Chain A
Amino acid sequence: MRGLIATVFRKEMKDHLRDRRSVLTSLVTGMTGPLLTLVLFSLIASWTRQDKVLEVPVIGREHAPSLMAFLARNGAELKEAPADHESLIRAGKLDLVLVVPQDYGKSFSAGHTADVSLVVDSSRQSARATVQRARRLLEGYSQQVATQRLIARGVAPELARPILVEDLDLSTPERAAALMLNMVPLFLMIMAFTGGLQVASDTMAGERERGSLEPLLLNPASRGDIVLGKWLATVSFAMASTLVTLGVFALVVRQLPLEDVGVKARFDGPAILSMAVAILPLAFGASALQMWVSTYARSFKEAQTYLSLLVMLPTLPGALISMSPIQAKAWMFAVPALGQGLLAGEVMRGESLGPVPFLVAIVSNIALALVALAATQRLLSQERIIFGRS
């Protein structure tokens, strides 16, 4: 690194590492993605886990002994329902309560339809699996009794069942969980943008706003050196944030019950490394682009407004990829952000791509960086930028 570039770089690093609040903010932001994934993933997994005991609180157990025996035989754990069960269900502390009315026995013996009620809150996602299992058991019992009754009367049970509907549900919670993992590259790409956002805003727009740009340009250091030093600092922050996020993801994924929900994804050491190689070069292009845009802004706040819009840039291709994996074509790797998302996705799926797509993605980001940096440098020789203060 040439001397003056290093001087500018060191100063910006020192300056911004002292900005405790924004360093902390970007660390916390970096952890949000992985932790969100952990929580949602674990929740989904816990709802769908089949080996969980089905607890059925019942009111009026004594009215339907044979139904109770059937439920118990099929793995349900029966217990007394608490008195305030309705409020408990509404609060989400209880999934369901089965209510057997007093006249159940009379209706049942007489061969009428006997009513039982299942008290549930259908808006609760977390109770959905339990309620479904309970309902299936009750319907099973009903079906069994109906069949017995028909046979007792000499009627073939099939007559009473003209159609048998079987569910073949393709949209399972497992797929939702897998979708969550597809968000990992998206989170990483967003960090490559947000990680350097503070530095990019402060080193260009902030410098203009404070009135320190003019004194800075009075040094014999060339504008190119100044821009490069600032860019390297921005890139460092962006890369560090991205790596923190990737590290936390690596830790989090180990805690995820991936097998429980039947997701196959590679998150071993080499995969994490490849992921870093895939995503990090985005910081080159992103940081340079942010500095360019930031130079147009007269104030730190103005720059932040522009730059938070710029963060949308990677989310578009990123979200597209995470929602519906597309077939990667060679040219796509050369598109910054799109290339990163595709590469990271392929790494996660365990595909081996060879070094060429990675190189293409790195080169394209460096090219983007060079264009943006050249433009930034040109802006710094314009009088309206140097002297134009708000």
Chain B
Amino acid sequence: MIRAANLHKRFGPVTAVEDVSFTAEDGMITGLLGPNGAGKTTTLRMLYTLVRPDKGSASVDGVDVVTRPAEARRALGVLPDARGLYPRLTAREHARYFGELHGLSGAALDKRVDELVDLLEMKDIADRRAEGFSQGERVKVALARALVHGPRNVLLDEPTNGLDVMSTRAVRTLLRRLKDEGRCVVFSSHVMQEVAALCERVVVVAHGRVVADGTPDSLRASTGKDSLEEAFVTVIGSEQGLVQ
């Protein structure tokens, strides 16, 4: 479970996140929806401990991300905006390296990596060096290393960005599976269809604030709009940055 309470972050004169609060439950996919520049990435970065909030607090399974960051990172699997790979390591070696950094080793690690290779359907690239991987293959490797330690909570920053249809479907299947396993899944997106297709819960962020929070249905109901897209435009108060 991930809780964010009144998160606030400024970068110099720019306020990236004004006031963001939400709770993401276990066994549920929570979508952080908002136009570009709304503060989604900064919010996620605060949750995964790499950006220190100026105000407010956040916790992962009850562990405060500011005071006990290493422990919080243990409970988190993160697909950040940056998905750089090591060109001279194979896909499998990427997962192994991150597994070892999480304290896994030996047969347990081997087994876990094999599972991920199956789960992410990356048998054909598992022992190839990452140099020259396609965008979709790169995301698979990045997902494998994010999930290698079997985290209870999964954060993904625009996971389907730049992916083709097949890779997008593979990612969606994975997210549903993680949910079915009872994990807490949070992902950010500026794509309406994505959120509508996947989420039980939508947190709409605009100008660094949460402007709506609820199920897609309750969002539609509270705005009086039939489509989620129109509801979205209504709550953020403009048509900026919307992708169909």
Contacts and interface: CB of A to CB of B under 8 A. Distances in A.
Nearest to A389: B82
Given A215-B145, A386-B50, A210 B84 contact: yes
Contact of B73 (A14, A15, A218, A389): A218
Interface in A213-251: 213-222
B197 to A, nearest CB: 26
A4 interface: yes
Contact of A212 (B11, B78, B84): B84
Contact of A219 (B51, B82, B84, B101): B101
B62 interface: no
Contacts of A383: 11, 50-51
A212 B86 contact: yes
A223 B55 CA distance: 24
A4 B101 contact: yes
B84 A218 contact: no
Contacts of A15: 86, 88-89
B133 interface: no
A11 B82 CA distance: 20
Nearest to B81: A214
B70 interface: yes
Contacts of A386: 50
A101 interface: no
Contact of B80 (A11, A16, A215): A215
A48 interface: no
B199 interface: no
A214 B102 contact: no
A73 interface: no
B102 A219 contact: yes
Contacts of A387: 45, 50, 82
A211 B49 CA distance: 17
Interface string A1-42: 001100110010011101100000000000000000000000
B48 interface: yes
Given A210-B84, A215-B84, A220 B50 contact: no
Contacts of A215: 78, 80, 82-84, 98, 142, 145-146
Given A14-B89, A15-B89, A217 B84 contact: no
A19 B85 CA distance: 15
Given A7-B100, A11-B97, A213 B88 contact: no
Contacts of B78: 215, 218
Contacts of B172: none
A215 B97 CA distance: 12
A162 B125 CA distance: 92
Interface of A: 3-4, 7-8, 11, 14-16, 18-19, 207, 209-222, 383, 386-387, 389
Given A14-B89, A211-B83, 8 more contacts: A4-B100, A11-B89, A15-B88, A215-B145, A218-B76, A218-B80, A220-B101, A387-B82
Query: Which 7 residue pairs across A and B have the least CB separation, nearest first?
Result: A211-B84, A212-B84, A211-B82, A210-B84, A219-B101, A214-B82, A18-B88
